[in-house]
Structures are given as structure tokens and as C-alpha cells.
Chain A
Amino acid sequence: EIVMTQSPGTLSVSPGERATLSCRASQTVGSNLAWYQHKPGQAPRLLISDASTRATGIPARFSGSGSGTEFTLTISSLQSEDFAVYYCQHYNRWPRYTFGQGTKLEI
């Protein structure tokens, strides 16, 4: 099973600042990597697919990069609505698409 590891566990930043979240896969997943945003009481939302492609309606301040085993989600200028938990997920071997443990982005 592919293990996804995210860092840091919690990231404290101020509105307007830049946030960089990391995700590492235990073996290569190519570009089959997604990022999700999850707020309490809400459905998780797809932000990024194929490591770097923004999903429909996702603001340009969200960007993804990486391939193979190392990936990064960058939020260029944090807005108040961006404070949430972020998960990476590989989708390299259907259907066992494992998630990272999450990074909590807090003010």
C-alpha cells in the first residue's frame, strides 16, 4: 500500500501570507495526486488534480506542483476562508486511493 505523509501537521500563518504544504508518497505515483480542502461540517472539496491542475472554480491563489514522490500545495495569499484542513491523496492504483494525514492551516 502506498503511504502518503504530509507536513507539517499544523501550519500557523496570517491572512495575506503565503502557505506551503508538503506531501510525500512512499513510492512513485507519477502525477496522480490530488489536494482537497475540508472544513468542519462540510463535504471535502477537490482543489487540485494531476498534481498541478486546479479544479473548476478554484481560485488562482491555489497552485500545486511536484511529481513522483514529492508534492507541494501553495496558497499564495491566504484569505480567511482558506483556513481549513488540507489532504493530499494519490490515485495511482484504483480503487485504493490513500490519503495523507492532513495539514491543519490555522490563523
Chain B
Amino acid sequence: EVQLVESGGGLVQPGRSLRLSCVASGFTFDDYAMHWVRQAPGKGLEWVSGISWNSGTIDYADSVKGRFTISRDNAKNSLFLQMNSLRTEDTGFYYCAKNIGGTSPFDYWGQGTLVTVSS
């Protein structure tokens, strides 16, 4: 069974940092690209960042570029999101999701972890 389990969310003050993790199981992790998607309170889904299977291609939404860093450790079946200089508008649920790469949809998602940025 495919599982994606996020962790690392919590309450943090504006300007501080947080690191999210996503542990994968039930599939060959390094066959897949991985992504982070978030949902602010009362809003829709927003793609945040994506990383190819070998970390060779990485991209970010303009809203987080320069502040967030995506990475992965294929030996540990893990995906990470380092979030620096957090803003109140970064508050929301953060989901990890996988796709086979190229032009393909996100076939599985995690349950999400909640990040709250507030003073």
C-alpha cells in the first residue's frame, strides 16, 4: 500500500524557520518525482515546489522562491521542505504528493501537516 506521511508542522513566529518531512512507503521512491502542495485556510490547493527523482530538476512557486528549499533523500525514502523567513500567509496544510514525472498527475497524496505562522 502506498503511503506518504508528512510531519514537522507546528506553530511558528513570522520570520522563523520550519522543516517539513514526508516519508514514503509502498512504492519505489526514486522512480518518482515529488511535490509539495499547500492549502491556506478557506482557500484552494496551491502547488509549492517539485523535485525530480534524482534532484536534477527543482522548481518553486513564485510565492516561496528564495525562502523555501525542497530536497530528498532517496536512501531514506524521504522528501523535505525547508521553510525560512516564514510569513503569516504561509499558514495552511502542507501535502506531499508523487508523480511519475514528465506530464503525469499526482497519483497519491499524504494527509498533510499543519503549519501555523503567527506571533
Contact = CB atoms under 8 A, between A and B. Distances in A.
B119 interface: no
Contacts of B47: 95-99
Interface stretch (A15-23, A38-46, A65-73, A74-82): A38-46
B52 to A, nearest CB: 8
B59 A44 contact: no
Decide if the interface of chain A is mainly helix, strand, loop or mixed: loop
A44 B105 contact: no
A99 B44 CA distance: 8
Interface residues of B, number: 30
What range describes how many residues of A lie at the interface?
20 to 34
Contacts of A89: 45, 105-106
A49 interface: yes
B35 interface: yes
Nearest to A98: B47
B28 interface: no
Interface in B17-61: 33, 35, 37, 44-47, 49-52, 57, 59, 61
Contacts of B35: 95, 97
A46 B106 contact: yes
Contacts of A92: 103
Interface string A33-60: 0101010011111100100000100000
Nearest to B61: A96
A38 B111 contact: no
A45 B110 CA distance: 10
Interface of B: 4, 33, 35, 37, 44-47, 49-52, 57, 59, 61, 95, 97, 99, 101-112
Interface of A: 32, 34, 36, 38, 41-46, 49, 55, 85, 87, 89, 91-92, 94-102
28 contacts: A34-B105, A36-B45, A41-B111, A42-B111, A43-B95, A44-B37, A44-B45, A44-B95, A44-B109, A46-B108, A49-B105, A85-B44, A87-B44, A89-B105, A91-B103, A91-B105, A94-B57, A95-B33, A95-B47, A95-B52, A95-B57, A95-B59, A96-B59, A99-B45, A99-B46, A99-B47, A102-B44, A102-B45
